[in-house]
Amino acid sequence: MPAVKANSESNQKKLTTEPVQAGDTSDAQVEWIRLKDLKRLFGIGKSYAYGVLIPQGHIKSVCLRQPGAKTGLRLIHAQSVRDFLNAQLGDQQP
């Protein structure tokens, strides 16, 4: 069995010290948002979301919480909000 050199060029990984550059994410769209982002991005308040949009199924949401916990994290599906708002355009009178 041939001996393998520990430091042979074929066994060494090529490393770099070049800094990593972040890509352009200006057109990236998030899939899930928090309620505070619903207000910031779409102008829809928490009361209207909890009182009308979520219970009537106009927008999709999920609550993440530990089993037995009283509170959790409510996330809103951003595309469902966009779909709801776009549907409202068809209902408006010129």
CA 73 to chain CA mean position, Å? 13
Domain chopping of the chain, boundaries = 32-91
Q: Going residue by residue through the chain (94 aa), what tens digit of pLDDT does each one get?
A: 555 555 555 556 777 788 888 887 777 778 999 999 999 999 999 999 999 999 999 999 999 999 999 999 999 999 999 999 999 998 676 6
pLDDT of residue 22: 80
CB 55 within 8 A of CB 37: no
Nearest-angstrom CA–CA distance, 42 and 45:
9
Look at residue 4 in the predicted model and tell me its pLDDT.
Answer: 55
By DSSP bridging, strand 61-64 and strand 73-77 are antiparallel
Q: What is the pLDDT of residue 29?
A: 78
pTM exceeding 0.75? no
- What SS3 state is found at 79? helix
